Structure 1
Amino acid sequence: MTIVWWVLGGLAVVLTASLLVVRAVVGRIVLPGTDRWTPVLEVSDDSVLLPITDDTLQAGEYGLWHDGDGHTTVGPVLEVDESAGTVRRAVLRTTGDVGSRVRWSGHVHPDPAAMGVDWSEVALDTPVGPAPAWIVRPSDGADRSSRTWAVHVHGIRTTRVTALRTVPAALELGWTSIVPSFRGDGEAPREGRASHLGAREWPDVDAALDHAVVHGAERIVVVAWSMGATITHELLGRSAHRDRVAGVVLVAPALDWEATVRSQAARAGVPGVVVGAALGAMASPLLCRAVGLRSRVDVRTLSWLRRPPALPPVLLVHSTGDTTVPFAVSEEFASRHPDTVTLAVSAPAEHAWERNADAVWFDEQVTAWADRLG
């Protein structure tokens, strides 16, 4: 009997340790990340001096969130001093005091007010409670604005401010925009810390479609960033308004979470068998709560490759430089649907920075594609 107890005790230890490892891997997938701060070496009204990093050398326009209140939008690189390890970038606009450190981001607009547009905020009636959303209207009162609405959907580990980058193209087209929040993003009602990769979040965005239709939308274009693509996948299959969706714009989309997670795990040196166990636990009705989820998430059912929804015209904008979401998945998806999907390959850019790298090119891709919708 002593040997049996030792065996059972050892098995319990192994199972507990395995569960802890799997839970940690799931946490890397679904929990918020930690902020990365960049020191500010020098700042003036028209420039800021930062250490050389992969981020600070990126071409284009980016946002610096201050450590405290405020935001700075930086533009072109003005000077690189490799011996000192510094890069100077132009300051395009700023609010608040910059301080000693900043958080680098793709958020060129901290809110709609900074864009100088006609905007307001509404509360959407979602299943988890009232969730804030921005409404942005064309200033010229174009006839199409009353019947075509763009719903801009942000991704994981960020907020609706991310999705403001596609509003300028919608304004140029004369569309009214709605930019919703959803559970887990820090603005909508809280439902735990873990993202469910769109499986639980999509009804919150569906409330934005409800709002658009109630206020006169006859056509809807869903504009989705990163994980927003998974939410869009569910909207196309499950929303009562799916027949009104005239087109979809996907930016750096997470089209297949298994491929995305395995790609990132390989970069981090996490064994494939551990990744498989983590994804299996997420999909299990028995284990999902043990790894921190409120309900099961089967990434196979959320995949555009495994289970493509009925597709309206799709514009897919992605960069080969994306090290977070594999470009190869976007390329494969576009090749499978050549009559429906238009793939626009941006200049090399990190994840969801396609517009940051070249805003003019990006907006032209959206407006040219949208003009073909009629």
Structure 2
Amino acid sequence: MVPSRRAASRGASPALVDTLRAAVAGLSLALAGVLSVLAFFSVRLARQVVTPALRVADTRILSLDTAAQTITLSRTADTGLPGRYGLFTSGTEAYLKLGSVLAEDDTSVKRKLLTEVDGRSRLSPDAAFSGWYFSRPEELHLPFSPELVGSPLGPCPAWLFPADPDAAAETDTWVIQVHGRGTTRAECLRAVPLFHSLGFSSLVVSYRNDGEAPRSRAGTYALGATEWRDVDAALGFARRRGAKRVLLMGWSMGGAIVLQVALNSAHRDLIAGIIVDSPVVDWRVVLDYQAKLMRVPHTVAGLAIGALAADWATPVVGSGAAIPFDRLDVVKRAAELRHPVLILHSDDDGFVPSDASHDLVLARPDLVELEVFEVARHTKLWNYDQERWSDRIRTWIDRRVTAPAASG
């Protein structure tokens, strides 16, 4: 009689059984280790997304020629760009304005200094290249007043640049500008002169957890899911001050915020149009792209996004609340848009890919227009080609904002 398989297994040697048990235990430990590593890096990435970022040095000052008023920087994708830019430094100067490229090679770029630097200046070699250009409102040489906008969390500082009554008859039209992630109101200053020339008042606002406005309990970003309420409060502020129409303008994450205002605000009747520069239209697209830049495996990026979206993970990632990625996906919510939108985005952005901007135009060609730049980097379109940037906004306003009101 041939023994059954069960009987045969019962007769297996103790040594073989011990070996199998050890192998299973080893595999379990290895799998647990892999999962632990994935969880660790996913949580760390998720925290980076929602934690307000400090300015990071991204170039080095190689030499400073105060006689010729030039500065040589290490070459990066940004430092060799044509146009006017800024440079955050430390030492005797905190911020420098930079002009055109004078010379360059594979490792360095020499640029003209537009901020006068004297021979006694001493600068740290570590620096951060910036598209801000203007760093303080006084540099615009326009009348302005500091204001406080009451928000659900408390007063948010703002700058109000009143319209020039002699420039045009549009003094009841306001522009509310919203800066991006890891920056401050100063990012928006370069757009103020254009709107001033059109006769518009400009309100440049702050929002929760940006280092100027009140801090939420968690102190972290919600990627637009809650910040929009502070900008909605600014709409109410503008209405009380006499605004009849408001253009919302956002830079990078500020674009995500103003799009949420347009979709959710109780003051939507006041909104005349939306302008966004290098905007975040769909956060999942952006986070996937940035994970690739950081050489983070796709699995880790997916787990990080999942953790940010999960209520149970909020204490671990420190987000305060789950991030509603579907609500923040404006392509998915394109049918809800009611206002004309102008997107200015570079296909060579390098930080926030333009894919979702293109998708939004395809979803709502009746309302959304896209001005595609090349070469220009993230939020540096004005710096790269100020004339084209300004002309595109001006003609869009004439056609989609001012003209309908005049004809109505």
TM-score, normalised on structure 2?
0.84
Letter matched to residue 141 of structure 2: G
**Equivalent AA in structure 1 for residue 90 of structure 2:** D
**Counterpart position of 1:361:** 388
Counterpart position of 1:203: 229
**Structure 2 unaligned regions, length at least 5:** 1-21, 403-408
Q: Greater shift after overlay, 309-318 or 18-27?
A: 18-27
- Residue 267 of structure 1 is matched in structure 2 by 293
Which range is displaced more, 110-119 or 144-153? 144-153
How much does 1:165 deviate? 2.1
Paired residue type of 1:90: K
Instruction: Give the partner amino acid of 2:371.
Output: A
- 1:64 matched to which residue of 2? 87
| CA distance, structure 1, for counterparts of residue 239 and residue 221 of structure 2 | 27
Are the counterparts in 1 of residues 178 and 251 from structure 2 also a CA contact under 8 Å?
yes
* Alpha-carbon offset, residue 325 of structure 1: 1.2
Query: CA offsets, 1:196-220, max 9 Å, x none?
Result: 1011211111221111111000101
- Cα RMSD of the aligned pairs, angstroms, is 2.6
Which residue of 48, 64, 69 corresponds with 1:28?
48
Q: Distance in 2 between matches of 1:349 and 1:341?
A: 21
169-178 or 68-77, larger mean C-alpha shift: 68-77
1:18-46 CA-partner distances (Å, limit 9, x unpaired): 43222111123222155115225113276
1:239-250 mapped onto 2 (5 Å cutoff) = 239-250=265-276
Decide whether the 8 Å contact of 1:46 with 1:92 is kept in 2: no
Give a deviation string over 1:42-100, Cα, whole Å, max 9, x none: 132763222341222111010112215532111111223x38x4432122235895623
State the AA in 1 paired with 2:269. D
Are residues 1:213 and 2:239 paired?
A: yes
Q: 1:38 to 1:170 in 2, by over 3 A?
A: same
* Equivalent of 1:297 in 317, 320, 323: 323
Bigger CA radius of gyration:
2
Gaps of 5+ in 1: none
Question: Could you tell me which amino acid in structure 2 is paired with residue 60 of structure 1?
Answer: G
The answer to whether residue 277 in structure 2 is matched with residue 283 in structure 1 is no
Q: What amino acid maps onto 2:377 in structure 1?
A: E
Report the Cα offset of residue 296 of structure 1: 0.9
TM-score by length of 1: 0.91
Task: Report the residue type matching 1:133 in the other structure.
Answer: A
Partner of 2:134: 109
Matched-pair identity in %: 32
Contact 2:61 2:71 in 1 (8 A): no
AA partner of residue 91 (structure 1): L
2: distance between equivalents of 1:158 and 1:98? 25
CA contact (8 A) 2:171 2:199 kept: no
Q: Name the counterpart of 1:42.
A: 64
- Residue 89 (structure 2) pairs with residue 79 (structure 1): no
Tell me the distance in 1 between the aligned counterparts of 2:122 and 2:220: 31
**More divergent stretch after superposition (338-347 vs 206-215):** 338-347
Match of 2:113 in 1: 91
Instruction: Tell me by how many angstroms 1:338 deviates.
Output: 1.4
Contact in 1 for aligned 2:308/2:322 (Cα 8 Å): yes
Greater CA drift, 290-299 or 88-97: 88-97
**Residues 269 and 347 of structure 1, relative CA distance in 2, 3 Å threshold:** closer
Q: Tell me, yes or no, if the aligned pair for 2:274 and 2:339 is still in contact at 8 Å.
A: yes
The 2-side partners of 1:150 and 1:263 are apart by 31
Partner of 1:333: 360
Candidates 117, 126, 133, aligned match of 2:151: 126
Q: State the SS of the aligned residue for 1:286.
A: helix
Looking at structure 1, the residues matched to 95 and 294 of structure 2 have their Cα atoms a distance apart, in angstroms, of: 31
- Secondary structure of 1:76 counterpart: strand
Deviation at 1:184, TM superposition (A): 1.6
Aligned equivalents of 1:369 and 1:98: distance in 2? 45
SS at match of 1:131: strand
Aligned residues between the structures:
371
